[in-house]
């Protein structure tokens, strides 16, 4: 019988200090995993690692050397790397395409796309040599449907789904699975900032944007929680999903 246990396995969670990343790190640790919490700020990731008995490693995913160092440290301390959650990212600029900040647009691509590629590159080598592993790319509902004022973010998250399918075919013969999660809007500080910027750009009250675009448009009529995304990530990381690869799974409270 397959289970959701990660006992004895090592998982790297990038962007693991806040929001979805933090919830995944906590959920994986509760399932028995040795968790490496990676992120740019030690001040953010160290409390999470300390609370779950994990390891905190500073990492800017836009720097390939940083990513290689995270995998090397994880392998040295635990012997192998079984799971990667490719979660580090940013929201990108909020604004119409006609006058969007191009520097911010490029910065979003650098973090969300090249950062994810760096992690995939190293994970493919490490897990391929091990002949096994599970990679979970954090895409988004906006990787499935375009969204106004968010072109940079949509571009990166659409690309991640294509990369998921391509890399799943590449390294599937080595026993490595690659899947994507596509969360809807998750309640928390990150969405508060996005909504505030959108309210300013569109000249609408935040409450109206939340009701029209997030809660009322969901079949369950509510926000998604980070813990619900983490539970889906645990499924993809564990043997419960042993025959699933190259898939993109929505977790969005039924937003159509």
Catalytic residue among 71, 105, 153, 214: 153
Whole-angstrom CA distances from 92 to 35, 101, 105, 190 are 28, 10, 6, 11
Instruction: Determine how many CB atoms are found less than 10 A away from the CB of residue 176.
Output: 23
How does DSSP assign the chain, residue by residue? ---S--TT-EEEEETTTSHHHHHHHHHHHHTT-EEEEEES-HHHHHHHHHHHT-EEEE--TTSHHHHHHHHHHHHHHHS---EEEE--------S-TTT--HHHHHHHHIIIIIHHHHHHHHHHHHHHHHT-EEEEEE--GGGTS--TT-HHHHHHHHHHHHHHHHHHHHHGGGTEEEEEEEE--B-SHHHHHHHHHHHHHHT--HHHHHIIIIITTBTT-SPBPHHHHHHHHHHHHSGGGTT--S-EEEESSSB-
Q: What is the CA radius of gyration of the chain?
A: 18
147 given a catalytic annotation? no
Q: Which residues are catalytic?
A: 153
């Amino acid at each position: 019988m397959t289970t959701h246990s990660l006992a004895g396995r090592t998982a790297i969670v990038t962007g693991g200090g806040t929001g979805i990343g933090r919830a995944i790190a906590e959920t994986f640790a509760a399932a028995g995993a040795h968790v490496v919490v990676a992120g740019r700020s030690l001040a953010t990731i160290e409390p999470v690692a300390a609370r779950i008995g994990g390891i905190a490693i500073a990492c800017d995913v836009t720097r390939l050397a940083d990513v290689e160092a995270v995998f090397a440290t994880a392998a040295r301390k635990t012997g192998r790397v079984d799971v990667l959650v490719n979660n580090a990212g940013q929201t990108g600029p909020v604004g119409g395409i006609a006058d969007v900040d191009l520097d911010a647009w490029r910065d979003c691509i650098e973090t969300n796309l090249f950062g994810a590629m760096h992690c995939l590159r190293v994970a493919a080598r490490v897990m391929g040599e091990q002949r096994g592993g599970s990679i979970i790319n954090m895409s988004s509902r906006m990787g499935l449907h375009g969204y106004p004022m968010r072109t940079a973010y949509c571009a990166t998250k659409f690309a991640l789904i294509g990369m998921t399918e391509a890399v799943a075919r590449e390294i599937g013969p080595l026993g490595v699975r690659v899947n994507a999660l596509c969360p809807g809007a998750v309640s928390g500080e990150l969405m508060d900032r996005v909504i505030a910027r959108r309210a300013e750009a569109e000249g609408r009250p935040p409450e109206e944007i939340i009701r029209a675009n997030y809660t009322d448009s969901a079949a369950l009529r509510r926000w998604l929680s980070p813990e619900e995304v983490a539970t889906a990530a645990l499924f993809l990381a564990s043997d419960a999903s042993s025959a699933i690869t190259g898939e993109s799974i929505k977790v969005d409270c039924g937003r159509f």
